[in-house]
Structure formats: structure tokens, C-alpha cells
Chains A and B, each alone.
Chain A
Amino acid sequence: MSLLDVTDLRVSFPTADGVVQAVRGVSFSVDTGRTLGIVGESGSGKTVLTQTLLGLTPGSQVSGTAMFNGVNLIGLGPDQMRRIRGEQIAVVFQDPLTSLHPLYRVGWQIAEMIRAHDKSVSRKQARERAIDLLGRVGIPQPSRRVDDYPHQFSGGMRQRAMIAMALSLSPKLIIADEPTTALDATVQAQILDLLLRLQQESDTALIMITHDLGVIADIADEVMVMYAGRAAEKASKHDIFYAPHHPYTKGLLESIPRSSAAADRLKPITGQPPSLIHLPSGCAFHPRCAYVMDRCLTEEPQLRSVGDAGAHKSACWLPAAAIGTAEAAEAARRRAVGEGRHAAAARVAEEIAASPEGSVIA
């Protein structure tokens, strides 16, 4: 059993336009001391997925289970949830201003957080702990800066203060939702370095949500690639980068510019992510997929093992042998397309080929 086991989580939002199916049956687990990277385009459901674990998606319809340390987080009462959030699971958001109160001093907010969960700590002790934490996350002169207001901190310092707050109660799991997206490269490097160092010191589990494959390459152990509210692929970091199976994962990797790439031209994924109200039938990726086959239009592929060890899973109808970027894998994909594409998928393939940057495997 892992620290966190999420099984078949589904989250939808009824809206005036229809039901937004933000998360559509996602399962994953995270172990103590490990980092799970969740990557996907904006709107793929990364934030909704993790906010739901913390009971932070009001107005949503939720099903599935999320066992954390023996407790199912889904359907937990607000009081119980409040105790777990902070004490055992901490969150770091993209924009620290949304979680730091503008009118209270940074140090006071950290101290109050500590005292709210442990009444036996005196004000003075809590303040000392806050200063110590600010120092640990690299705020210079913490005993002076502890009395600053959030607006007196730079973006990077605010994010560090957020991390200090997240750490204040020694959580077992930290969920970081695009914690460095709003920051500059050199500051991002500082923050990632900090998160990893702290994780190693206290053996915390970390869920890192990002749309940046560079961040994933840097710090993840396992990776889940999300597309349209589902896990398209799950694997070790190594397999995601060097032996991707799902055409979406492959497309993401091919579309980033790399100095090592010989080609002058980038290889984008054609089209746009789908509407979560009117999802495409079958595989949600089929209107953009170069390998689209007939069954992709009608049957939704489930995650299944494609690697030897069973840890590598992909939700795609292509055969397990179609893994990686080697020629043999591409041949396996072509063979599958040759056998599986008839009139219906051929029409879709034609449309893809005709759209900007469209290319399909014939």
C-alpha cells in the first residue's frame, strides 16, 4: 500500500453549457519519499484532480476513492479534512498571493498556522519556528523579514514563504501545483532545488504538477501524462522520455525545441485540446492523432501495461510493441494502422492531414 492510493477518480461540474467532465477515471499512487510528476496541457484536469483530493472543488460531482494513510479523502467531513490538510498534506500553488493573506505579516501567518494545529505551542515559540522555517527556505535575514507583509516579498520570496508554510507542520505529502510557472528560470531553479532538498531531508512524498517537461525531467521519479481528464500514459521518468507509447506523449516530446535536434522545423501536434463538455467519441485524442484507427473512433482505450515490468501503462489501441522512437516501434505502429484503419478512420485522417501542421501516418 502506498501513502496515497487514488482509484477511478471522477470529477464533473454541472454548468449552464453542459457537464464539464474535468477528471474521468484517474488512478495513481504515490509512495513516501517519491515524486510523482503530473504533466498535461492546460485544461487537462491536473488542478481539479488534486484539488478534489483536498475537498477544494465545491459544486463538483465526485466519485472514486483516495486512500491516504488508511483514510478515504473523498467524502471526508470539513473538520477532518481541515486537520489532514496542512498537518499531513500541504499544498503549494502557482500564485502564492492567493494563499498568503495580504493584510497579515508573513511570519504571523506561518506562526498562526502552527498554532492552529497545535495549541500547546506558545506565540513566542511559533514565531521562533517561523523564523527558523523562513531561514531554511532561504529567505535572507529571516528574523527581520518575518515581520514583512507579503507585498514586500518578491515573487520568489513569496513562493519560498509558501513552502515554509507548507513545511511548518512536517506534512507527509506535498502537492505543488505549478509552483514555479510564474517564476524566472534562475528563481525556479532555486525553488525546485529547495523542494527536493527538503523532500530528501524529511522523506516527504511530492506531487509536482506542471506543464513543463523540463521540470518533470528534472525532478520526477514517476510521471503521469494527462489528456482530457484521463491518464494517457503512466511510467517511470525514464520510460516517459525515452520509451513513450502514447502518441500524445510522443507528440509532446517531439514538439519542444531542442538544440540537439537536427531538424529546423518543429513537429507540433495538430489541432487543439477538446472541449470537456463535448468530448470526442472513443479515444479523446483521436481528432489529433496521426495513427488514428477505426476502433479509436468508437472504443475508449483503457490504461494497460505496455512495458515488461508492468509499471509502464498507456491508454492507446496501438500494440505494446509500438513503444519508443526506434524504427522497429514506428514499423509496429504503421502495421497496426495498416490493419486497423478503414473508411471511417481514413476520413478522420484526411481531415487531420488537411489542417495546419497536420500529418498522419498513411
Chain B
Amino acid sequence: MSGPLSAVPADGGGSGELLRVENLVKYFPVRSTGMVRRTIGQVQAVDGVSLTIGRGQTLGLVGETGCGKSTLARCIAGLIPVTSGTVTFEGHDITNLPRRAMRPFRREIQMIFQDPYGSLNPRRRVGAIIGDPFAIHKTATGNERKRAVQELMERVGLNPEHYNRFPAEFSGGQRQRIGVARALALRPKLIICDEPVSALDVSIQAQVLNLLADLQDDFGLSYLFIAHDLEVVRHVSDSVIVMYLGRIAEAGPKDPVYDTPRHPYTAALLSASPAADPESAASRQRIILTGDVPSPINPPSGCRFHPRCPKAQELCSQSVPELEPKSGGEPTHLTACHYPVQAGEILASTGRREPV
């Protein structure tokens, strides 16, 4: 039930659908430096993204630095205004709502951030930090709040006796548990996880991923899960979206996207991310892209991937490919490419490694 928009029937927020994003655009103005700060351009951070997230489902979002993942997340959470497009939560249009009208939805949509160090105020005690949402939304006070906080601490695997400690007294993994407890406080329906485990070592990362999975089972949570580690995203997600420079390159249920990627960028990304297995690393076809991700200020014309794409042809720089199902694939598996990758097609490879 989660994925790109056209992958689900438009039932207007019926039983299965929790969140719907349609054609979301977010541009940031680029201003000149100097006395008069004129707008001289736009960062096209998110440029026409549509998606849905079903109840109890996890939608994974992957893509390289600067492709617009966090911006999309912050637009959905209502933390920054959108330039155009709509965000619908449980059938309610929550796009650019004024603060007061947004408040009930703020409780339902929570965020967890990457940096367990930077997102916690070092001078406040964890009990107070986790209890913040209760205070802001005036739902529990005094001893009742303390009890609720300690229950949350217990639930996320923190020792409730550490209620009065400061963030610095916790390890990275424990700090991420604090972030999870705070997000959980008001029993949200959707948690947006923006790189929640990227700063953690693998052994600790697995602890936090298991915790998120348990909480999803217990509370029927939905997740929008952003990460750059493709194996992590595959592990947690039901559906995935691959973004490139503000747009969706490919989207669908995770298995077809991972097993038979149709967009050359997805194929390159998958081939580039090293599997922790020497045999598959040695046998894998590697697509080494040339160049870096271009600037979202003056993105390339047509298909934004065309300057780096091994399959690019003339049409690619002239016309924007539609995000649509491709022949031979599942109808829910969508790709924005004029010349999608065919089964068994070899894009490019380097023969630098001998087999193990």
C-alpha cells in the first residue's frame, strides 16, 4: 500500500492509506550576496514528488547527498512550507497549515534524526527531553508525566533509573533510543526517520533497527525511512523510492526494485554499494559512474541523470521521462527513464578484481 502515487487506487484516504503526497515541489531561493540580496535562482530541492504510505507500512527513501530526501521529509512533517503540491494525512489536507491548525497533526507525525548528538540539548536531563512532547501538548503533568516517561524509557531499552542523567552520559546508540522515546511519546501514527542509524556502528545499528521493528509491530506505526545504506533500507522497507536530484527515478515494492532495477541510476547505485560478502563483491558487475551529482540550482535538462548516464541518448536531454510502469515489470514498479534497463543487460563494468 505504500509507494509511488499511481501505484495505489485513489481511494481518497480510505482504510489502507495514511499519507498521500501529490506533486510536491520545494524550491529554496538563492540570493545574491551583497547589500541588496536579490533572488538570483532557485535550489530545486524537491521537484514534483508523489507517494503514499499505508498504515503499518514502511516506505524507504534512498538517494545520494543533496537529492532532497531531508527536504521532502521536512515538508511532510510540516516543518517547512511547500512551494506547491499537497500533503494529505488520513484524508485531511495538511499542506501549509497554520501552526494552530497543524497542532493535532504534529502529534501524529513525528521525526527521528540522524545525529543522536546534535538533536539533544546537552544541558537538559533525558527525562525532561523525553517528556517535552507531553509538556508541549499539555497531555500529562507532574508524577504522571514522569511515570509515562519512565515507561517509554523502559520500552526503548533504556534504564528508567537514568531519568535524571544528561545526554553526554549516554552512548550513541542509547542517545538514538532517547530520540525514539521522544518521538513515541504522543503515540504518533507516522514516524519519519531521517538517517536514524547512519551515525551508529553496525552492531549498535542493528539494536536500533530491531527496536524500530518491534515498535512498528506493537503500535501499528508507519515509517518513512531515509537512509543511504541500501541494505538497511531493503531490510526495513515494504516499498522504496529512489530519488535523484529532487525527482523520483524509480519506485515500487522493494524486491522488484532491488532485484530488477530498471533505472540506470538505481542499477549503478546498487552495483556501487558494497555487499559485505567477498564472493558477491568479486562477482558483481560494477557500474562506475563518471562525474558527481550536479547542482540542483541549474539541474540538467530533460532527464536529470543524463550527464552521468551510461545509456543516455539525444532524447534524454530534451524530454523529461514520465514515472511509469515499464513493459515486462510489475504494474506497481515505476521508472522514470526513456530507455529502461532490460533483463540481463550489461551497462558497464570494471574487471579489476580477481575472484576470491
Q: Do A and B share a complex?
A: yes
Q: Are A42 and B201 in contact, CB atoms less than 8 angstroms apart?
A: yes
The digit string for B185-202, where 1 denotes a CB below 8 A from any CB of A, is: 000000000000000011
B99 within 8 A of A: no
CA–CA, A330 and B143, complex, Å = 49
| A80 in the interface (beta carbon within 8 A) | no
B286 contacts A187, CB within 8 Å? no
Q: Is A185 an interface residue (CB 8 A)?
A: yes
Question: Within the complex, what minimum Cβ distance (angstroms) separates B299 from chain A?
Answer: 15
Q: Indicate whether A238 reaches chain B with its CB closer than 8 angstroms.
A: yes
Q: Does A113 contact B (CB under 8 A)?
A: no
Query: Contacts A257-B231, A269-B203; is A237 near B286 (CB within 8 Å)?
Result: no
A99: Cβ under 8 A from any B Cβ: no
B173 interface residue per 8 A CB criterion: yes
Min CB gap A135→B, angstroms: 13
Can you name the residue of chain B whose Cβ is closest to the Cβ of A212?
Answer: B274
A297 within 8 A of B: no
Interface status of A217 (Cβ within 8 A of chain B): yes
Chain A residue numbers with a CB within 8 Å of B232 are: 257
Query: CB of A244 within 8 A of chain B?
Result: no
With the chains together, A189 CA to B308 CA distance in Å? 14
Chain A residues bordering chain B, tally (CB within 8 A): 53
| A200 contacts chain B at the CB level, 8 A cutoff | yes
**B119 at the A/B interface (Cβ < 8 Å)?**
no
* B274 in contact with A257 (CB, 8 Å): no
A189 engages B288 (CB within 8 Å): yes
Interface residues of B in 91-115 (CB under 8 A from A): none
Cross-chain contact B275 with A214 (CB below 8 angstroms): yes
Q: How far is the CA of A150 from the CA of B112 in the complex (A)?
A: 33
Question: In the complex, what residue of chain B is closest to A153 when comparing beta carbons?
Answer: B292
Considering only residues 204-220 of chain B, those with a C-beta below 8 Å from chain A are 204-207, 209-211, 213
Q: Which of B276, B353, B356 has the most CB of A within 10 A?
A: B276
A187 to B290, CA, bound (A): 9
Number of residues in B with C-beta < 8 Å to the partner? 46
Q: How far is the CB of A29 from chain B (nearest CB, A)?
A: 21
Residue on A nearest B275 in the bound complex, by CB: A214
Q: Report whether B272 and A255 are in contact in the complex, using a CB–CB cutoff of 8 Å.
A: no
Shortest Cβ distance from residue B321 to the other chain A in the assembled complex, whole angstroms: 20
Q: Shortest CB–CB separation between residue A158 and chain B, in angstroms?
A: 11
B293–A213 CB distance below 8 A: no
Give A259's nearest chain B residue, CB to CB: B234
Task: Find out whether the CB atom of B278 lies under 8 angstroms from the CB atom of A211.
Answer: no
Q: How far is the CB of A314 from chain B (nearest CB, A)?
A: 18
Which residues on A sit within 8 Å (CB–CB) of B138?
none
A356 in contact with B157 (CB, 8 Å): yes
The reply to whether A184 and B228 contact each other, CB–CB distance below 8 Å, is yes
Q: How far is the CA of A264 from the CA of B232 in the complex (A)?
A: 12
The listed residue (B234, B269, B352) touching A196 by CB distance below 8 A is B352
The one of A41, A185, A213 that contacts B272, using a Cβ cutoff of 8 Å:
A185
Which residues of chain A are within 8 angstroms of B204 by Cβ–Cβ distance?
A: 41, 268, 272
Contact check, B213 vs A265: say whether CB atoms are below 8 A apart: yes
Residues from chain B with Cβ under 8 Å of A351 in the complex = none
B258 within 8 Å of A (CB atoms): yes
Task: From A154, A189, A253, A266, give the contact of B209 (CB < 8 A).
Answer: A266
Nearest neighbor of A41 in chain B, beta-carbon distance = B201
- A216→B353 CA distance, assembly (Å): 13
Q: Contact flags (1/0) for A246-262 with B, using CB distance below 8 Å?
A: 00000111011111100
Given contacts A255-B206, A268-B204, contact A184 B352 (CB under 8 A): no
* B273 and A156 contact, CB distance less than 8 A: no
| With A185-B272, A185-B273, A255-B202 already in contact, 12 other A-B pairs whose C-beta atoms are closer than 8 Å | A185-B64, A193-B288, A217-B277, A237-B278, A255-B206, A257-B234, A259-B231, A259-B234, A259-B258, A265-B210, A266-B235, A356-B157
Binding site for A on B (CB under 8 A): 64-65, 157, 171, 173-174, 201-207, 209-211, 213, 228, 230-232, 234-235, 258, 268-269, 271-278, 281, 286, 288-293, 350, 352-353, 356
14 A-B contact pairs sorted by A residue (CB < 8 Å): A155-B65, A184-B64, A184-B293, A185-B230, A189-B286, A211-B201, A213-B202, A215-B274, A238-B356, A241-B276, A259-B235, A260-B277, A268-B210, A272-B171
